[in-house]
Amino acid sequence: MLWEVDIFAAPGLPDVAAAEATADALDLGFSPNLTFGTARGYLAQGDLTREQIDALVEKLLADPVVERATVGRVGDPALDLSLRGDKGKIVYAIPKPGVTDAVADAALKSAREFGIVPEAVRTFKKYWIDGASDEELRRLGRKLLANDAIEQVAYGKLDFDTLQVGSSYKFELIVVPIRRFSDDELLALSKDMGLYLSLLEMRTIQEHFVKLDRDPTDVELETIAQTWSEHCSHKTLAGVIEYDDGTGTKRLFENMLKETIFDATVKIRENLGESDFCVSVFSDNAGVVKFDDEHNVCFKVETHNHPSALEPYGGANTGIGGVIRDPMGTGMGAKPVCNTDVFCFAPPKLDASEVPNGVLHPRRVVKGVVAGVRDYGNRMGIPTVNGAVYFDKRYLGNPLVYCGNVGLIPVDKSFKEPKPNDLIVAMGGRTGRDGIHGATFSSVELTSESETVSGGAVQIGNAITEKTVLDVMLEARDRGLYDAVTDCGAGGFSSAVGEMGEDIGAEVDLSAALLKYEGLSYSEIWISEAQERMVFAVPKDKWPELKALCDSEDVEAFVLGEFKPNGRLVLKYDGKVVADLEMKFMHKGRPRAVRQAIYRPTDVAPITVAPEGVELPARTIASEAVSRAQSCGKEFKSAAALDLEAILGSLNVASKHWIIRQYDHEVQGGSVLKPLVGVASDGPGDAAVLRPKVSSRRGLVVSNGMNPNYGDYDTYHMATSAIDEAIRNAVAVGANPNTISILDNFCWGASDKPEVLGSLVRAALACREASIEFGTPFISGKDSLNNEFRPEGSDEAVAIPPSLLISAMGQVDDVETCVSMDLKKPGDAIYLVGTTKNELGGSHLSLVRNWVGGQVPTVDVPLAKRIYNAIYAATQARLISAAHDLSEGGLAVALAESAFAGGFGAEVDLAAVELASESGSLGSLPGVDDVADCVKLFSESNSRFIVEVAEKNAEAFEKILTDAGAPFVAIGKVVEEPRLTIKGSAGGAAIDADLADLKRRWQKPLDLGGEVD
Amino acid sequence: MKPNVLILRAPGTNCDLETAYAFELAGATTERVHVNRVLENPALLERFQILCFPGGFSYGDDIAAGRVMATKIRVNLVDAIRKFRDDGKLILGVCNGFQILIKSGILVADDDKGAPVTLTWNKSGVYTDRWARLEVKSDKCVFLKGIEKMYLPVAHAEGKFMARDESVLDALEAQGRLALRYVPSDNPNGAARDVAGACDETGRVFGLMPHPERHVDKTQRPDWTRFRDDPDFATRVGDGLQIFKNATEYFA
CATH code where residue A50 lies: 3.30.1280.10
d(CA A966, CA A969): 10
Q: Which residues of A are catalytic?
A: 231, 304
CA distance B14 to chain A (A): 5
Q: What are phi and psi of A343, to 5 degrees?
A: -120, 150
Tens of pLDDT, residue by residue over A232-278, are 888 889 889 999 998 888 999 999 999 999 999 999 999 999 999 99
- Residue among A60, A729, A830, A653 at smallest CA distance from B69: A60
* Better-predicted residue by pLDDT, A876 or A450: A876
Q: Is residue A860 part of a domain?
A: no
Is A633's pLDDT higher than 50? no
Helix %, strand %, coil % for chain B, to 5?
A: 35, 25, 40
Residue B49 CA to residue B6 CA, distance in Å, equals 8
Residues of A in contact with B68 (CB under 8 A): 106, 109-110
**Chain A contact present for B240, CB below 8 A:** no
- Give the lowest-confidence range in A53-62, A347-356, A868-877: A347-356
- What does the pLDDT read at residue A800? 95
- B56 in contact with A, Cβ within 8 Å: yes
> What one-character DSSP code corresponds to residue A15?
-
Interface test with A, best of B62, B108, B131 (most A CBs within 10 A): B62
pLDDT at A797: 87
Q: How far is CA A829 from the centre of its chain?
A: 38
Please check whether residue B128 touches A, CB under 8 A: yes
Please report, in angstroms and rounded to a whole number, the separation of the first and last CA atoms in chain A. 47
- What confidence score (pLDDT) does residue A439 get? 54
Is the Cβ of A102 closer than 8 Å to some Cβ of chain B? yes
Q: What pLDDT score does A108 carry? A: 94
Chain B, nearest residue to A882 by Cα: B225
Task: Tell me the pLDDT band of A946, cut-offs 50, 70 and 90.
Answer: very high
At A856-880, the pLDDT tens digits run: 999 999 999 999 999 999 999 999 9
Which is nearest to A402 in space by CA: A705, A770, A621, A699?
A: A705
Range of the domain at B54: 4-249
CB contact B127 to A (< 8 Å): yes
- Full domain range(s) for residue A125: 2-155
Q: CA B228, CA B219: separation in Å to the nearest integer?
A: 10
Q: How many residues does chain B have?
A: 252
Kindly indicate the confidence band of residue A413, based on its pLDDT and cuts at 50, 70 and 90.
very high
Minimal Cα–Cα distance from B250 to chain A, Å? 25
* Each residue's pLDDT tens digit, B55-106: 999 999 999 999 999 999 999 999 999 999 999 999 999 999 999 999 999 9
Handedness of CA A556, A559, A563, A567 (dihedral sign): negative
Q: Which distant-in-sequence residues (6+ apart) come within 8 Å of B238 by Cβ?
A: B215, B216, B217, B218, B220, B221
In this model, does residue A958 exceed pLDDT 70?
yes
Q: Would you call B223 and A679 a contact, using CB atoms and an 8 Å cutoff?
A: yes
Q: How far is CA B38 from CA A989, B90, B105, in A?
A: 70, 17, 18
Q: What is the mean pLDDT of residues A501-511?
A: 95
Per residue, the 3-state secondary structure of B123-162, as one string, reads CCCCCEEEEEEEEECCCCCHHHCCCCEEEEEEEECCCEEE
* Tens-place pLDDT, residues A415-443: 999 999 999 999 999 998 877 765 555 55
Judge: B128–A661 Cβ closer than 8 Å, yes or no.
Answer: yes
Round the average pLDDT of chain A to a whole number and report it. Answer: 92
The yes-or-no verdict on residue A622 having pLDDT over 80 is no
On the question of pLDDT at A80 being above 80, the answer is yes
| CATH number of the structural domain spanning residue B151 | 3.40.50.880
At A647, is the secondary structure helix, strand, or coil?
helix
Nearest CB to A106 within list B9, B22, B63: B63
Catalytic entry in B141, B156, B199, B213: B213
- Number of H helices and number of E strands within chain A? 32, 42
Rounded Cα distance, A101 and A834, in Å: 54
pLDDT of A323 above 90: yes
Q: What is the pLDDT of residue A233?
A: 80
Return the pLDDT at A447: 58
- Residues of A with Cβ-Cβ distance to B130 under 8 angstroms: 661, 681
pLDDT for the residue numbered A230 = 82
Q: What's the rounded Cα separation, in Å, for the pair A930 and A643? A: 14
Is A8 inside a domain boundary? yes
Q: Tell me the sheet residues that pair with B135.
A: B149, B181
Q: Is the pLDDT of residue A18 over 90?
A: yes
Looking at residues A305-329, what average pLDDT do you find?
92
Chain A contacts in chain B segment 175-234 (CB below 8 A): 188-190, 211, 213-214, 216-217, 219-220, 222-223, 225-226, 228-229
Set of chain A residues whose Cβ sits within 8 Å of the Cβ of B153: 666
Kindly calculate the radius of gyration of chain B based on its CA atoms and give it in whole angstroms.
Answer: 17
pLDDT band of A98, cuts 50, 70, 90: confident
Decide if A867 is inside a domain.
no
Nearest to A379 among B12, B129, B225 (CB): B12
Please give the pLDDT value at position A903: 97
Which amino acid is located at A707 in the chain? N
As a dihedral over the C-alpha atoms of residue A468, residue A470, residue A473, residue A478, rounded to 10 degrees, the angle is -120
**pLDDT score recorded for residue A636:** 67
From chain B, the residues in CB contact with A882 under 8 A are 225
- B136–chain A nearest CA distance, Å: 22
pLDDT reading at A165 higher than 90:
no
List all residues of chain A from 41 to 60 with a beta carbon under 8 Å from chain B.
58-60
Domain count, chain B: 1
Q: What is the tens place of the pLDDT at every residue in A710-766?
A: 999 999 999 999 999 999 999 999 999 999 999 999 999 999 899 999 999 999 999
Contact A701, A809 (CB under 8 A): yes
Are the beta carbons of A65 and B115 separated by less than 8 Å? yes
Task: Report whether A115 contacts A107 (CB < 8 A).
Answer: no
**CA-CA distance, A628 to A646, in Å (whole number)?**
8
What letter does residue A221 receive in the DSSP assignment?
A: H
Out of A65, A374, A677, closest to residue B164 by CB = A65
Asked if the C-beta of A305 comes within 8 angstroms of chain B's C-beta atoms, the answer is no
pLDDT in tens, A479-495: 999 999 999 988 899 99
Q: Do A702 and A688 contact (CB within 8 A), yes or no? A: yes
Paired with A341 in beta bridges are A387, A403
What are the residues whose beta carbons fall under 8 Å from the beta carbon of A311, sequence distance 6 or more? A147, A149, A150, A368, A458
**Predicted local distance difference test score (pLDDT) of residue A396:** 94
When pLDDT is averaged across residues A47-64 and rounded to a whole number, the result is 95
Amino acid at B111: D
- Work out the burial of residue A611: count CB atoms within 10 Å of its CB; fewer than 13 is exposed, 13-18 middle, 19 or more buried: exposed
Q: Under an 8 A CB cutoff, do A878 and B228 touch?
A: yes
Neighbours of A32 (CB within 10 A): 8
Q: Provide the pLDDT confidence category of residue A1013 given band limits of 50, 70 and 90.
A: very low
A666 closest CB neighbour out of B22, B71, B214: B214
Percent of chain A with pLDDT over 90: 78
Q: What is the mean pLDDT of chain B?
A: 97
Say if A374 is an interface residue toward chain B (CB within 8 Å). yes
Residue type, B229: D
Q: Which residue has the higher pLDDT, A452 or A163?
A: A163
Task: Please tell me the distance from the alpha carbon of residue B252 to that of residue B249, in angstroms, as a whole number.
Answer: 5
**CA–CA dist A204, A235 (Å, integer):** 15
Left, alpha or beta for A890 (phi > 0: left; psi -120 to 50: alpha)? Answer: left
Three-state secondary structure call for residue A938: helix
Domain count of the fold of chain A: 1
Least confidently predicted of A321-325, A519-523, B177-181: A519-523
pLDDT value for A626: 54
Query: Does A375 fall in a domain?
Result: no
Instruction: Tell me the mean pLDDT in the region A558-568.
Output: 96
For residue A993, what are the CA distances in angstroms to A167, A966, A990, B150? 68, 31, 10, 35
Using the Cβ of B246 and the Cβ atoms of chain A, whether some distance falls under 8 Å is answered with: no
Sign of CA dihedral B102, A370, A485, A455: positive
Asked, for residue A84, whether it belongs to a domain, the answer is yes
Q: What is the pLDDT of residue A89?
A: 95
Nearest Cβ partner of B129 from A463, A664, A673?
A664
Three-state DSSP class for residue A801: coil
In the residue annotation, B95 being an active-site residue is answered as: yes
Torsion of CA A631, A634, A640, A646, to 10 degrees: -30
> How much is the pLDDT for A1012?
34
CB atoms within 10 A of CB A192: 9
Average pLDDT over residues A620-640: 59
Residues 34-53 of B with CB under 8 A from A: 34, 36-37
Q: What is residue A743's predicted lDDT score, i.e. its pLDDT?
A: 98
Neighbour order of strands in the sheet with A120-130: A67-73, A2-9, A35-45, A120-130, A89-95, A151-155
Q: Which residues of B touch A106 (CB under 8 A)?
A: 59-60, 62-63, 68
The residue that leads in pLDDT, A356 or A459, is A356
Q: Find the distance separating the first CA and the last CA of chain B, reported in whole Å.
A: 5
Question: Does position A615 have pLDDT exceeding 70, yes or no?
Answer: no
To 5 degrees, how large is the angle CA A1003–CA A1005–CA A1009? Answer: 85
Q: Supply the pLDDT for residue A632.
A: 47
| Torsion over CA: A42, A46, A51, A52 (sign) | negative
Residue A979 has pLDDT above 80, yes or no: yes
